[in-house]
A = this chain, B = another copy of it.
Amino acid sequence: MPIKLKGEVNPDLNNERKKCSFNVEEMARWYHGGEKKLAEKRQRETLFLDDPDLQDDIPTSYMSHKEIYEYGVGKACKIFTKIRALQEEGKGGVDNFMAILGGMLGSGVLKEGNPMAVHFVMFLPTILGQGTTEQQVEWLGRAWSMNILGTYAQTELGHGTFIRGLETTATYDPKTEEFILNSPTITSYKWWPGGLGHTSNYAIVVAQLYTKGQCHGIHPFIVQLRDEETWAPIKGKSVEIGEIGPKLGMKGVNNGFLGFDNVRIPRKNMLMKNAKVLEDGTYIKAPSSVLTYGTMMFVRVVIIRDMANYLSKAVTIATRYSAVRRQSPIDPAKPEVQVIDHVTQQYKVFPNIAKVIIFQLTADYIWNLYNQVTSELDKGQLERLPELHAISCCLKAVITQDASNGVEQLRMACGGHGYMEASNLPNTYGMVTAACTYEGENTILLLQTARYLMKSWSQALVGDALVPTVEYLRDAIKKRSNKWDPSITGIIKALQLVAANKIRLAYEHVENRKKLGYSHEDATNLSSIELAQSADAHCRAFLVQSAYEMTRDLESTVSTSLATVLRQFIELYAVETCMKYIGDLFRFSGLTEDGVQELQQRLEDLLTKIRPNAVGFVDGFDIPDKILSSALGAYDGNVYERLFLEAKKSPLNQDPIPKAFELHMKPFMRSNL
């Protein structure tokens, strides 16, 4: 049977789209921030995705580790060449870079990640943020033009989230006015930086600064790694450099290792916008450590958006496939139904659609908050910085974990076919789960938020003023429980009560342990399960609340038909959150057995209401087929034809008789005849 695409949309998907009660184009406009932004997005997608020079003949999943790298570098060079050319024509500037490096278009053109991404995401911004004007003049031009390629080398083989523990040393030698870089132990080798393996000739290296015999903690230095002409690693007293090997995902990123043996760099290569080392080795402290918060906050907002993006891909794939796939009749006397008609399937898929909306709204909310706080910063007001830091820590932890779990749940909701690379779900999981450990391991981040919450609780206890995100603690001190109120605002209050009580319990248990003679630190460690859970609860309440607040005026910006559906998803998220925290709600919010059964009924009703709009709604995420890269998720729903066409690309399918037959099987099968 010669398999080919029929060029028609699967009739099941056509039917689904006819059922849709709102305007999909309006949804796309709303989701992408308005008509203009949507048009720009689409234009950019056409520009890159339809470029004949940027098409892939064979999926990376057929390639070896080395081939994936070579393909990735080649394609990255083509892409950046194109962006340069566009810039020269005056067509788009930074926007193109942002899109190509970001989770959506970027993941469409380079599914295994971009080996040059760290150059733009970390190398350039660090010089911009921490370099002096002279240093910016010296480095930025060449870096921006990509005449040099840089990476950001912080993490070490033995040291991750706890950066004070880094071991690489940069010792100032006033005689030559140089820093001498060393990797004193195996655990001090840099390990993980993207593009470090073979794709960078410079790095920002974060090292412990020693001058006049004293350690001043970690500082950033620009270090050359490879010759600009020959690309050979720096020789002599040298760097040892290579790539760290294959990973679960991000296989094209060329993560590398780096060790120093007395490598000398000029004094001016220390980034000195903040702290300084003078010619004679005198160390001058940075005026404030506040400045570095900005980049971290920005990166966290980007991560939250990325999570929404990846989850939107996975849920578009799973929703469409669930509408096409037929499996098991509901009534044994009738044919197999669309999988999406099984309520258990709806329960796997629809809450993940809701999460995409919630994460996007939260990203917007926190972005607004960030801008508000930085504008206050400019006026010298630092009050809200710790608050912003605390909420961003738990948001990063909770959202990356939920997105990661969501993508896997959706993959499994696609049954066996979800296990195939052709579904693009394994690849998507590889990208999204990485975020659970990078930029701060999630449990450590929750504990950072918890530390803030403990302080807030103690302030609440003595009646101090509280900042907005923890203001709810004040009420909780007065009134530990409540009458269950199932409205959205009631649910927000209930989740806040849960958070407050979990914060209180964690606080009390730390204090009790201190009374038993434990140090504050040991007491905190012994109570850390409850501490992490209190931060999680705080975050859950915040997520429902921020989504609710961001959509309060929804009806003034979108049609009633769209607003209705959006509100259904927000309600679904709130109800599903309750279902997951039934125990805590029972303990602290006055929830009763009747309340639980009402929630269950409401959950089921919402799934039924959402059912006819599900396909239309994910269509509204407006993700082109070339970004979805999924046989199961394409707009036309020709799932089986596409699976077949992907399999036909297999190098193993090019020969009817495998090489392994003559080589291995034939001799083996006959050796005992």
Instruction: Report A's interface with B, CB cutoff 8 A.
Output: 1, 3, 59, 61-67, 69-70, 73-74, 77, 80-81, 84, 145-149, 155, 157-162, 165, 183, 186-187, 189, 191-192, 197-199, 230-233, 240, 242-249, 257, 259, 261, 325-332, 336, 341-345, 347-348, 408, 411-412, 415-416, 418-422, 426, 429, 433-434, 436-438, 441-444, 447, 505, 519, 521-522, 524-530, 532, 581-587, 593, 596-597, 600, 603-604, 608, 640-641, 643-644, 646-653, 656-661, 663-673
Contacts and interface: CB of A to CB of B under 8 A. Distances in A.
Contacts of A444: 328
Given A162-B327, A165-B336, A437-B412, A257 B665 contact: no
27 contacts: A1-B186, A1-B189, A1-B240, A1-B259, A61-B245, A64-B651, A73-B664, A74-B663, A74-B664, A77-B668, A147-B672, A157-B644, A161-B327, A161-B415, A186-B644, A191-B643, A197-B652, A199-B660, A244-B420, A245-B646, A246-B650, A249-B419, A343-B525, A415-B441, A419-B437, A586-B586, A586-B587
Nearest to A254: B652
Nearest to A261: B1
A187 B650 CA distance: 20
A197 B261 CA distance: 51
A147 B31 CA distance: 61
B70 A658 contact: yes
Contacts of A64: 62-64, 67, 651
A669 B165 contact: no
A647 B243 contact: yes
A197 B651 CA distance: 12
B242 A652 contact: yes
A235 B436 CA distance: 52
Among A336, A442, A658: residue with most chain B CB under 10 A: A658
A192 to B, nearest CB: 6
Nearest to A519: B331
A656 B438 contact: no
A663 B70 CA distance: 9
A18 to B, nearest CB: 23
Contacts of A667: 77
B63 A230 contact: no
A65 B421 CA distance: 12
Nearest to A425: B248
Contact of A158 (B148, B608, B640): B640
A436 B165 CA distance: 40
A588 to B, nearest CB: 9
Contact of A522 (B331, B521, B528): B331
A523 to B, nearest CB: 10
A61 B326 contact: no
A330 B192 contact: no
Contacts of A670: 147
Contact of A434 (B419, B608, B672): B419
A416 B646 contact: no
Given A243-B647, A526-B604, A530-B600, 18 more contacts: A1-B189, A1-B259, A59-B246, A69-B660, A81-B668, A81-B671, A157-B640, A161-B328, A162-B329, A165-B327, A230-B657, A231-B666, A242-B650, A243-B650, A243-B653, A248-B421, A419-B437, A583-B586
A664 B199 CA distance: 11
Contacts of A343: 525-529
Contacts of A583: 581-586, 596
A412 B408 CA distance: 14
Given A326-B158, A416-B160, A77 B243 contact: no
A200 B38 CA distance: 51
A200 B344 CA distance: 37
Contact of A157 (B159, B345, B643): B643
A653 B233 CA distance: 12
B62 A66 contact: yes
A412 B436 contact: yes
A70 B659 contact: yes
A243 B416 contact: no
Contacts of A596: 583, 587
A192 B285 CA distance: 63
Pick the most buried of A148, A158, A519: most chain B CB atoms within 10 A of its CB. Answer: A158
Contacts of A326: 158, 165
Given A147-B669, A582-B584, A647-B242, A187 B74 contact: no
Nearest to A436: B412
Contacts of A192: 416
A61 to B, nearest CB: 4
Contact of A665 (B231, B332, B429): B231
